[in-house]
């Protein structure tokens, strides 16, 4: 049902933006106020790139939701084009141009994080354009309370399943984070 899918897209985006904002603020509070992640002196230089990188979290969430929406309409190429092709190309091309312009100087972590944010933002614009082309502007956007309740129940199930999956997939990196320096974890990752 096209009108329901558009309503579900809008509902998901709104909830995800609120949830992502709360989690990001909570992480910043824990990381910087309680010194949970940046305790040692060798990690202090990563504070600014980390804060810049956190801006990518809401962008990535919006990209993933839009990808799911497009994949539901069997528009796989449109769903993956921005994140899998455009974003990496922009990132590598921009970093390469800066590297050449600065005559071989290494990029700082803050520069890399900034380039990454810009790449995410451009990819988001492209995928939102694809979503816009898929949706019809004349659709009625109303959903029954029972439908919204079902969405909430289902979203919580998927939320917890995804948390467990992400922790399982990244358990090795999380464990190494307690024993190794960030450079070594980055190489391993």
Cα–Cα distance measured from residue 68 to residue 173, given in angstroms and rounded to the nearest whole number: 27
Structure tokens at 102: 């600065």
Q: How far apart are CA 46 and CA 64, in angstroms?
A: 26
- Rounded (10°) angle between helices 56-72 and 109-134: 30
pLDDT at 140: 47
Query: Which pTM was predicted?
Result: 0.70
Q: What is the CA radius of gyration of the chain?
A: 19
pLDDT along the chain (189 residues), means of 10: 76 88 83 64 73 85 90 86 91 92 87 91 93 68 67 74 76 77 74
Q: How far is CA 123 from the centre of its chain?
A: 11
pLDDT at position 133 is 86
How does DSSP classify residue 178?
Answer: T
């Amino acid at each position: 049902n096209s009108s329901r899918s558009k309503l579900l897209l809008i509902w998901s985006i709104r909830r995800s933006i609120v949830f992502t904002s709360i989690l990001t603020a909570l992480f910043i509070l824990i990381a910087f106020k309680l010194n949970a992640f940046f305790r040692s002196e060798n990690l202090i230089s990563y504070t600014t790139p980390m804060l810049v990188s956190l801006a990518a979290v809401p962008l990535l969430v919006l990209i993933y939701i839009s990808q799911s929406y497009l994949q539901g309409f069997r528009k796989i190429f449109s769903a993956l084009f921005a994140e899998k092709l455009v974003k990496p190309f922009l990132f590598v091309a921009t970093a390469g141009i800066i590297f050449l312009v600065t005559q071989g100087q290494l990029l700082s972590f803050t520069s890399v994080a900034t380039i990454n944010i810009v790449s995410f933002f451009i990819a988001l614009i492209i995928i939102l354009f694809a979503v816009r082309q898929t949706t019809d502007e004349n659709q009625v956007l109303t959903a029954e309370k029972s439908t919204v309740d079902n969405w909430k129940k289902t979203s919580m199930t998927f939320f917890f399943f995804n948390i467990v999956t992400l922790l399982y997939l990244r358990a090795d990196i999380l464990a190494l984070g307690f024993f190794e320096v960030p450079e070594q974890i980055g190489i391993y990752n």
